[in-house]
Amino acid sequence: MELDHVGIAVGKLDDAVPRWRPAVGGADVPYEEVGGQGVRVAFLSAGPVEVELLEPTRPDSPVGRFLAARGEGLHHLAFRVPSVDAALAELVRRGDRVVDRTGRAGARGRRVGFAHPSAFGGVLVEFVERP
């Protein structure tokens, strides 16, 4: 598995993007609302890996609840896999918990799926399948 991006929960993209852009470089980045997840995201390029900034669009969304409980900070690591469905199925097969049983539509038209943090020592892990 190759590291694809690092997800960071933020209160406001308008505050976080200018703070992160000098560190990771890159030009203006578009914001994208991820349908159904109650989150807006911006990806900043950092070499072969990206930084994904996540802003909740409503307090009862997963990222909104994360912010309320823990504040801004590291939210998840995302790994590129050939098949999100196969990666999730492998976790289920070995008895680990998953957030998503199968892949779903993520940002930028990519198929994504989340493991439960208990599967990776308390770290929320996302699988990403690039088209």
CB 83 → Co ion: shortest distance, Å?
Answer: 17
Q: In terms of CB distance, is 95 or 120 closer to Co ion?
A: 120
Q: What are phi and psi of 116, to 5 degrees?
A: -80, 145
CB of 98 to Co ion, least distance (A): 15
Residue 68: C-alpha distances to residues 5, 82, 102 (Å)? 23, 34, 27
Structure tokens at 46: 């950092």
Count CB neighbours of 67 within 10 A.
20
Q: Which is nearer to Co ion, 126 or 129 (CB)?
A: 126
Phi-psi region of 51 (alpha: psi -120 to 50; beta: other; left: phi over 0): beta
Task: Give residues in contact with Co ion (CB under 5 A).
Answer: 7, 52, 78, 126
Distance CA 102, CA 83 (A): 10
Token pair listed for 83: 């098949």
* Nearest approach, Cβ of residue 122 and Co ion (Å): 17
CB-based closest residue to Co ion: 7
Least CB distance to Co ion at residue 44 (A): 13
